[in-house]
Amino acid sequence: MKQPVRVAVTGAAGQIGYALLFRIASGAMLGNDQPVILQLLDITPAMDALQGVKMELDDCAFPLLADVICSDDPNVAFKDADYALLVGARPRGPGMERKDLLEANAAIFSVQGKALNDYASKNVKVLVVGNPANTNALIAQRNAPDLDPRNFTAMTRLDHNRALSQLAQKTDNAVTAATHMTIWGNHSSTQFPDLFHAKVNGATAIEQVEQDWYENDFIPTVQQRGAAIIKARGASSAASAANAAIDHMRDWALGSQDNDWVSMAVYSDGSYGIQEGLIFSFPCECKNGDWSIVQGLEINEFSKAKLAETEKELAEERDAVSHLLP
Ligand SMILES: NC(=O)C1=CN([C@@H]2O[C@H](COP(=O)(O)OP(=O)(O)OC[C@H]3O[C@@H](n4cnc5c(N)ncnc54)[C@H](O)[C@@H]3O)[C@@H](O)[C@H]2O)C=CC1
Ligand SMILES: O=C([O-])CC(=O)C(=O)O
């Protein structure tokens, strides 16, 4: 039997937390042979609700769940954490853009970046889900100077999965026929879902759909899907967001599929001309517990303009929180 690993989850009493924790404890994220210790963080007024979640985790009698620690102190929740899923943050309501949450949520991520720096494992794999996810990840990363910036990622896997599903449905295929999807840039309405490199049944996707559908239906549908869910449900995506977080962490830890790639917002090393240091979503391959940006894709003029737009937005978000970036 493997030694348990420590998985910290923030916002654990919230709606994504409720869809996420039971799947982590069941082995869906790190494998059916990997015991886990859940280290759950929420704010003080949510401690009763968090205890209720812990009671339910106990009541599942998950064979892989070695322990559950509940706390309102990030220094406790992140202690020796091998994985950290930073979900805890305010969600947006109808009519808001995700960056409207920057002021409310940014401070959370400077505190948590410092706590990760001081208490987590030096190899901790961090996924930021709380919005605006890319810039919150940047804040956490910059407040953790002793950790490798590559340890900090933000979630665009939900956008990636949305795009796969839309493409498969449009072309009348099973979702497994759609591969090589890329979400470039920010988890926001400027994100660029790329069908020039995506494939359906192994052939270039853009050649199997009309350009008009791509530009005027597919791209806005994927960009606005979060808002459409909020309008329909009266609350933001939770089960699909939790599912995407599981997918992101599983692939990072255990490897992505051969002959395919996934979208992850990661520390830009200047690939594709994107400013170094931004947390930008790229096509990534995962192997041996590490990710790398897929290199050498040709970027046409249409895509170049889209990449520039989402990069500009991320640079503006970064500049708006410069007081939190040591
Ligand atoms: N990146 C992505 O694709 C997605 C991101 N999101 C974002 O995820 C975040 C969480 O969403 P929900 O679970 O629906 O919200 P929620 O409001 O149901 O839960 C948030 C939880 O975080 C807790 N929290 C607040 N401040 C905290 C702090 N300083 N430390 C620890 N916990 C704290 C709250 O008490 C609450 O329990 C939101 O910002 C939402 O916009 C949601 C869907 C997809
Ligand atoms: O749209 C929102 O605010 C929640 C979210 O990030 C998503 O569903 O992609």
Q: What is the pLDDT of residue 17?
A: 98
Which ranges in the chain belong to alpha helices (H)? 15-26, 47-60, 74-77, 102-119, 133-142, 157-170, 211-213, 219-223, 225-233, 239-254, 301-320
- Ligand 2 pocket member 237 (CB < 6 A): yes
- Ligand 2 pocket member 226 (CB < 6 A): yes
Active site annotation includes 180: no
| Residue bearing the CA closest to ligand 1, atom 1 | 129
ipTM score of the complex?
A: 0.99
- Where does ligand 1 bind, in terms of residues with CB under 6 Å? 10-11, 13-17, 41-43, 46, 87-92, 108, 129-131, 133, 155, 158, 187, 236-238, 241
Q: What is the pLDDT of residue 266?
A: 99
Residue-level pLDDT, tens digit, the chain, 326 residues = 899 999 999 999 999 999 999 999 999 999 999 999 999 999 999 999 999 999 999 999 999 999 999 999 999 999 999 999 999 999 999 999 998 999 889 999 999 999 999 999 999 999 999 999 999 999 999 999 999 999 999 999 999 999 999 999 999 999 999 999 999 999 999 999 999 999 999 999 999 999 999 999 999 999 999 999 999 999 999 999 999 999 999 999 999 999 999 999 999 999 999 999 999 999 999 999 999 999 999 999 999 999 999 999 999 999 999 999 99
Quote the tokens at residue 204: 């270039």
| SS3 state of residue 255 | coil
Quote the tokens at residue 235: 């609350």
CA distance 293 to 286: 9
State what percent of residues in the chain have pLDDT above 90: 98
Assess contact for 141 and 114: CB atoms under 8 A: no
Catalytic member of 187, 197, 248, 323: 187
Query: How far out from the chain centre does Cα 30 lie?
Result: 16
Name the residue among 97, 283, 95, 303 with its Cα closest to residue 189.
97
DSSP output for 126-185: EEE-SSSHHHHHHHHHHT-TTS-GGGEEE--HHHHHHHHHHHHHHTT--GGGEE--EEEB
Beta bridge partners of 182: 194
Q: What is the pLDDT of residue 269?
A: 98
* pLDDT (tens digit per residue) in 193-228: 999 999 999 999 999 999 999 999 999 999 999 999
**Residue 159 falls in which region: left (phi positive, over 0), alpha (psi -120 to 50) or beta:** alpha
* Binding site per annotation, positions for NAD(+): 11-17, 42, 105, 112, 129-131
Q: Find where tokens 């919150």 sit.
A: 136
Assess contact for 12 and 53: CB atoms under 8 A: yes
